Amino acid sequence: MSGNRPGVDTAIYGFLRRIPTGVLWMIVLLWSLPTLGLAVNSFRTRDNQRNAGWWNVWRDDGLTMENYDVVFSASATAGLKESLLNSFAIAIPATVIPIAFAAFAAYAFAWIDFKGRKWLFIATVSLLAIPLQVALIPLLRLYNFGSHWTIPFLEKTVTLIPDFDLVNTTTAVWLTHTGFALPFAIFLLHNYISELPSDLFEAARIDGADHFTIFWRLVLPLSIPVLAAFAIFQFLWTWNDFLIANTMAGTNPDAIATTIRIANLAGDFGRNEHLLPAAAFVQAFFPLVVFFALQRFFVRGILAGSVKG
Amino acid sequence: MQGAILSGEDLSKIISTLVLIVVAVGASASLWIGVNLLFNQVRTSWTRFNALAGYAVGFLLLLLLQGNRLLKPHGPDADSITRLGELLWTPLLGALIFSALAVILANNDDQTRRLWIASGSGLLLGGFIGIRLAEDARPELEILPLLLSTIVIAGIGAGIALLRGRNPVPAALIGVALGWLIGGFGVPELGDGSALESAIAAAVPGLAIGARIGLTKNAGVVGRARIDAKSRGAIFLVPALFFVTVSLIAPTLITIWLSLKDEDSVDLVWFENYGSVFTDINSFDVGNWTNIFTSLLFVLGVLVGLGGLAIGLVLRKRTGDGFSAGGPAFAPLMIAMVMIVFGVLSVLRGTIMNNLWWVFTVTVFSTGLGLAIAVLADRAKLESVAKSIIFMPMAISLVGASIIWRLVYVARDTSKSQTGLMNAVWVELGRWSTGSGLPTVLGTVLVWVLVALGVASISRSLTSRTYDKIPLRALATIVLLWIAYRFTFDGIGGFRTNSAGETVPDTIFFVQDQPFNNVWLMVILIWIQTGFAMVIMSAAIKAVPTELIEAAKVDGATESQVFWRVTLPQIRTTIGVVVTTLIVLVMKVYDIVKVVTNGNFGSQVLANDMFEEAFLFSNTGVGAALAVILFVSVLPVMVLNIRRMQREA
Amino acid sequence: MKSRFLKLLALLFAFTLIAAACGDDDAADDGDDMAEGDDGDDIADGDDGDDIADGDDGDDMAEGDDMADGDISITVTGPERDESEAGAIQEVLGAWGDEHGIEVTYLGSADWEAEINVQVEGGNAPDISIFPQPGKLADFARAGHVVPLNDEAAAATAANWSEAWTVFGNVDGVQYGVPVKADLKSLVWYQPARFAANGYEVPETFEDFTDLVDQIAADGETPLCVGIESGQATGWPFTDWVEDMVLRQHGPDVYDQWVAHDIPFNDERIVSTMQAVLDLWTEDNVFASSGSIAATSFQDNGQPLIDGDCFMHRQASFFSAFMPEGTSFGDGEGEVNVFYFPDINGDRPVLGAGTLAAAFNDNDATMALLAYLSTPDYAEARQVSQATRKGGGATLSGFLSAAQGQDPSVYQPLEQSFLNVLETAAIVRFDGSDLMPADVGAGTFWTEGTSFVNGDITAQEAADRIEASWP
């Protein structure tokens, strides 16, 4: 029957062909709805947020900037500027340093031959499974007292790591992040670096390049896409982290991160929960900037990838 | 002043922060590069390498002694400046001496002379350090333990070397040094000895180590290449391994130890904590497992699965390729798997079951959706817009995300307007489908048009002989048919019939209704983590060589064939990375549950349980045991995954 | 080649400097550790003035901490953290510190319950923390984490607070805690004008109360608003109801035995009270704004009370903060007031809650601050500051103190009536879930109670499970 009317047939087929793209935009729409609701609510008063859904915003008696005013001006826990500064002081080193260390290690696991390489790699990456809560108290003690070991039977104490008085500083926070980030960073970077074409390395070796030169001149430039991907995530995670920042530096008003400041804004029993939508957007601003800034490196991935055999 | 964005105080804080970061990064970078450059000298300039290495060893050794206040201070009460100078000059002096010795040795190939020089200077240096030892660090020597420990340890060293078929002398020498140090400084009281005793205690190890060094030959070309290669492995790994050891391995060992102790970490209770976790009805409740077989989800899943299996078997007989990814049997089997797992896990309850459910659902859906979006966006216009929106949830902090979703799920009394999006839609859908006005009529027409479209798509597949797609299209059509039927006859959505027989609106308690409230919590994490999967896989897809794709297209492959046969195999290890990471990440999930339900309504997960036990209830033992269970249960999955990826690579 | 070697030398020099710099740190700290020769469980450096890490385990503070010294700092932490509360506390404590040449910092924490445990275990405890749960304070006291008050602070506490309150900070006969804030829980919020319009009267006895509930329900209206959802703390409003009812039905002695675990949690009296609460919460009696009590947020009950969806809401004094914006308090049209949740035997028991400050070291300055926290001066100053921050005028601050000798004029009329209830109460009992061990009070009592309210288990099953979880 449909064969008699090719017009209808083509129309239906065309519709079906567009389904995948349609599905994509459907998902995108679904994904954006909660955020959209959050955005709209950030401009509504507490009672409006509680009594009517955000899609009823046109019935409200006007939007308000009051929530943002409070979020910007609150200073009981820490000022906005101070807390942003502290978050940067945590997130930047906590992003840069793990990238460097993980790149070294990933290169070693991928391209330097030594005994037990595969199992050492597996062991390192397996540490990903450790819930970070187990490390909170031991690390806090380490930053507080240093690490000392009393030799059994001899009752003599040896200082393994001295006390650098790091507790309650942003340094303690990013050092902690560095340790926790490494297993995933090594895993991700190794996956990429180990798939770089081996003839590149052989050619460089024949030219007399040592591992350090190869790493510096070849591996790092070629790995920029994966470094960017990791940088995005690591920045996000450290920027949005509450637990570590609160544990390692939560009792020092000069080292308060933005997440702690926002959690405090909400008050106990969620008294000021209506401020959180606005606060969430203020908090998400810098991670989004980082995402947009680093996203362009993904396109360069094509260039880097085209070297692949 | 009010107008200034940054005050002087802010600026000084920014600057000090920047300085801190630059110094920290710069110091570690120069240290690491320095060591690399040092070992670059091994092949090109042996003498220089020895000079620098000797310098470094001497400096570090004496800095260690000086830093620990083990050496005699120069003056009785030095102020801080001379203290700094002292701290610097002694190690520098030591560095120069060691450096000079290393240079001499590097340029002497005569075995006897090497031995004499090395052991002699070792003896002298050891003795000198011994004399300079601070008074409270001088040992009062006890001959018997000293000799005993020296002989025992040297014997062990030599024995091991013999067993491994090596020359026992070097190992014995190191054993002598170690044994003498332990016997000399470890056993007796420190601080009561004389300068002579302390010199003896330090000189003998110096002699032994010197002799051990003197026994070695200067490395030849091959030996130097070996030193170069071996050292690089260490240099590249040490920074990462150090951090990992301090912040992950050591705490884990402590945790394992604590998990064997009682709640105050005093008495050893062995596996009691583990026993209490596994016998707790809240962590493991499989009593009504027979209900699995009456669960609709399970039964339907089995039916769909059998259908998929049948298709696959028939195809394999005909074409030899029945179950390949993307084939006709693939979609039904995948759907069946999800339905069966949901059917089983919604019946078996408890914390551990919840964790399994979380891991399965979030991993499968985040990876699947992330991959689909990465692929679809790759060829769509406005790619970056789509990707940015999918990524957005990752940037919103967890507090923000939980607030959003509590708002999305919230239910309100049906006499009020719904403030939660899901219930608003659900209740409206109920009104729409049970109503009798024009909208309901239009809705009925719409659902049946959709069914017709489904049927048309199947007939299209038949006429164009693209049989591959029939199973998926048939499934979709059946679902549409069911929706249309319900819409037309019973109604669908949020309504119920009250005692008076009237149809009234009804809401769903997404967060409270067990057991599927768990799924709604998982949706939050899927919403967040899909962006993660998408970013990583999108980068991998972009790295697939365009030539491969072009070649496949020239051979007449359709877009979906290109995806299943070219792109997918190319990014397989990346998918492995995403899946492994997600499994681990989901296993450790706690914040969503903590904020939204705090484990109420049968939604407890291991990590939140652990957090509560360890940090709120002060049950250190049980908390530690839960952490160990968490870790150990994902370990095999991870190791297998990584092994498989290693083999594939 | 030559330039490369120069670079190398430069690096070497840099390395030498860094090592020297780090080494200096080591020397300073290590030296002390070595000299004291213990296993590193102490922080030295008490002389390091601008360093807030001073607050360590407190067993060995340096002698440098003298009140006259201008370099002392005190860190106070606590669960109160929003802009007006934390701001007010900081302002008042800061002013006291300026007077005494001490730098006082207050920091609220969103996760205080867990954080304080971690900080104590990690050796990084603050100088003073404000405990919302006497049970936790008692645990910390018995574990030796917090220190007893010195004589002056204990004397000040005894002088400024009645024994009904100081007893919550008393562990095994030793005073550890200073009460700093009081909440009144035995209150019912209502609209007087709507009561009058319907001819209802404020109930005097518990029987009147249940009669009123029945009457309102019979009139086709809904008497009560109830919601027990509260995010992480879901279930606590239910525990408050149970406690208030145990106090009324079985008296303070049974209440004390119950929270002290002298009678088991699944004692039949407790089980019957739990059942009694649920029996009162029938579908006809309760408006739950989300359609189910377990799913209704306790804070969402302000609007329905104003809108007339229900007539009464039993909730603590601090609930004023959750009323819709612009709500005024009094007996006029559209205004909201409270009445005392009536008793059964005429003994007027009051369920209270509040916070207690306790110290982690016994420095003079720390103890002096604790003594100050107990005074009416502190309460008045904080009330004024917090009310101003909330907007001033007739706004309620949300703060309340039962310290004796306060000037009542700093409080609004409604708050004065709260104070009046507190002062006239013969029997004051602290919120039981805050006195029980955290496993129960912040654990199973909430979760199993929620399951019970949700209809998943019976009262007996819930009580049995809570009893089993008692450590």
One-character DSSP codes across A22-85? HHHHHHHHHHHHHHHHHHHHTTS-HHHHHHS-GGGGGGSS----HHHHHHHH--SS--HHHHHH
Kindly report, residue by residue over A210-227, the tens digit of the pLDDT.
888 888 888 888 888 889
R_g over Cα of chain A:
26
B410, B507, B600 member nearest C450 (Cβ) = B600
Closest CA of chain A from B592, distance in Å: 13
Closest CA of chain B from C31, distance in Å: 6
What confidence score (pLDDT) does residue A152 get?
A: 63
Place of tokens 């010197």: B210
Residues of chain C in contact with residue B40, where contact means CB-CB under 8 angstroms, are none
**Best C13, C290, C293, C470 residue to mutate vs chain B (most B CBs within 10 Å):** C290
Q: Which residues, listed in sequence order, are joined to residue C427 by a DSSP beta bridge?
A: C349
pLDDT average, residue stretch B387-410: 86
Closest CA of chain C from B456, distance in Å: 43
A146, A268, A270 member nearest C80 (Cβ) = A268
CA B575 from centre of chain: 15
Residues of chain C in contact with residue B507, where contact means CB-CB under 8 angstroms, are 290-291
In a domain, A256, yes or no: yes
What confidence score (pLDDT) does residue B79 get?
A: 53
What confidence score (pLDDT) does residue C253 get?
A: 94
> Does the distance separating the beta carbons of B404 and A34 come in below 8 Å?
yes
A159, A163, A168 member nearest C124 (Cβ) = A168
In a domain, A4, yes or no: no
Query: CA-CA distances (angstroms) from residue B19 to B16, B28, B181, C141?
Result: 5, 14, 42, 43
Residues of chain B in contact with residue C14, where contact means CB-CB under 8 angstroms, are 27, 30, 34
State the amino acid at position A128 in one-letter form.
L
pLDDT class of B266 with cuts at 50, 70, 90? confident
Q: What is the DSSP letter of B271?
A: T
Return the closest-CA partner of residue B56 out of B43, B72, B39, B73.
B39
User: Which residues have a Cβ under 8 Å from the Cβ of A50 and sit 6 or more positions away?
Assistant: A274, B419, C300, C303
A51, A157, A270 member nearest C231 (Cβ) = A270
> Does the distance separating the beta carbons of C456 and B616 come in below 8 Å?
no
pLDDT class of B249 with cuts at 50, 70, 90? very high
| Mean pLDDT, all residues of chain A | 84
Paired sense of beta strands C170-171 and C174-175, if any: antiparallel
Q: What is the ipTM of this complex?
A: 0.90
> Does the distance separating the beta carbons of B618 and C290 come in below 8 Å?
no
Kindly report, residue by residue over B157-212, the tens digit of the pLDDT.
889 888 888 888 888 888 888 888 888 877 777 777 788 888 888 888 888 888 88
Residues of chain B in contact with residue C7, where contact means CB-CB under 8 angstroms, are 37
> Does the distance separating the beta carbons of B638 and A195 come in below 8 Å?
no
**Interface contact C469, partner B, CB < 8 A:** no
Phi/psi for A29 (5° steps) reads -60, -50
Burial class (CB in 10 A: 0-12, 13-18, 19+), C183: buried
Q: Look at the alpha carbons of B135, B137, B142, B143 in this order and tell me if their dihedral is positive or negative.
A: negative
State the amino acid at position B14 in one-letter form.
I
> Does the distance separating the beta carbons of A159 and C110 come in below 8 Å?
no
Exposure string for B212-246, b = 16+ CB within 10 A, e = fewer? bbbbeeebeeeebeebbbebbbebbbbbbbebbeb
Kindly report, residue by residue over A88-105, the tens digit of the pLDDT.
989 988 998 899 999 999
| Mean pLDDT, all residues of chain B | 86
B463, B539, B639 member nearest A126 (Cβ) = B639
C29, C86, C111 member nearest A162 (Cβ) = C29
> Does the distance separating the beta carbons of B390 and A31 come in below 8 Å?
yes
C12, C117, C309 member nearest B615 (Cβ) = C117
Closest CA of chain A from B446, distance in Å: 15
Report the alpha-carbon distance of residue B467 to residue B460 in Å, rounded.
Answer: 10
What confidence score (pLDDT) does residue B404 get?
A: 85
Report the alpha-carbon distance of residue B572 to residue A206 in Å, rounded.
Answer: 32
Phi/psi for A188 (5° steps) reads -65, -45
What confidence score (pLDDT) does residue C191 get?
A: 94
Domain span at residue A82? 74-303
C11, C20, C447 member nearest B600 (Cβ) = C447
* Grouped pLDDT means (10 residues each) for chain C, 471 residues: 46 47 37 33 34 36 42 90 91 94 92 91 92 92 94 95 92 95 94 93 94 94 93 90 95 94 95 95 91 89 90 93 87 91 90 95 94 95 93 86 91 91 86 92 92 93 93 85
What confidence score (pLDDT) does residue B84 get?
A: 63
A101, A129, A179 member nearest B246 (Cβ) = A179
In a domain, A97, yes or no: yes
Interface partners of chain B (CB pairs < 8 Å, 3 or more) are A, C
Please tell me which residue of chain A has the smallest CA distance to C298. A269
Size of interface A-C (CB pairs under 8 A): 152
Q: Count the domains in chain A.
A: 1
Name the percent of chain B lying above pLDDT 70: 96
> Does the distance separating the beta carbons of C299 and A269 come in below 8 Å?
yes
Residues 29-88 of C with CB under 8 A from B: 30-31, 34-35
Which segment, B227-241, B296-310, C16-30, is predicted with the most confidence on average?
Answer: B296-310
Residues of chain C in contact with residue A171, where contact means CB-CB under 8 angstroms, are none
CA A184 from centre of chain: 11
| Residues C65 and C46 sit within 8 Å (Cβ to Cβ) | yes
> Does the distance separating the beta carbons of B616 and C117 come in below 8 Å?
yes
> Does the distance separating the beta carbons of A101 and B239 come in below 8 Å?
yes
CA C238 from centre of chain: 17
Whether the per-residue pLDDT at A306 is higher than 60: the answer is no
Paired sense of beta strands C72-78 and B503-505, if any: unpaired
**Interface contact C139, partner B, CB < 8 A:** yes
| Residues A133 and C25 sit within 8 Å (Cβ to Cβ) | no
Q: Which CATH number covers residue A282?
A: 1.10.3720.10
Report the alpha-carbon distance of residue B575 to residue A64 in Å, rounded.
Answer: 45
Kindly report, residue by residue over A235-289, the tens digit of the pLDDT.
999 999 999 999 998 888 888 999 999 888 888 777 888 898 999 989 999 998 9
Please tell me which residue of chain A has the smallest CA distance to C125. A251
**Best A67, A73, A80, A145 residue to mutate vs chain C (most C CBs within 10 Å):** A145
CA C284 from centre of chain: 33
In a domain, A251, yes or no: yes
Please tell me which residue of chain C has the smallest CA distance to B594. C232
Cis omega (within 30 of 0) for bond into B515 = yes
pLDDT class of B61 with cuts at 50, 70, 90? confident
Interface partners of chain C (CB pairs < 8 Å, 3 or more) are A, B
Please tell me which residue of chain C has the smallest CA distance to B85. C20
Tokens of B564: 């299943």
In a domain, A17, yes or no: no
What confidence score (pLDDT) does residue C45 get?
A: 34
What confidence score (pLDDT) does residue B23 get?
A: 81
**Residue of B417 and B259 predicted with greater confidence:** B259
**Residue of B587 and A152 predicted with greater confidence:** B587
Closest CA of chain B from A6, distance in Å: 12
Closest CA of chain C from B471, distance in Å: 41
> Does the distance separating the beta carbons of B611 and C295 come in below 8 Å?
no
Domains of chain C, earliest start first: 72-183+353-419 (3.40.190.10), 187-352+429-469 (3.40.190.10)
Report the alpha-carbon distance of residue B536 to residue B538 in Å, rounded.
Answer: 5
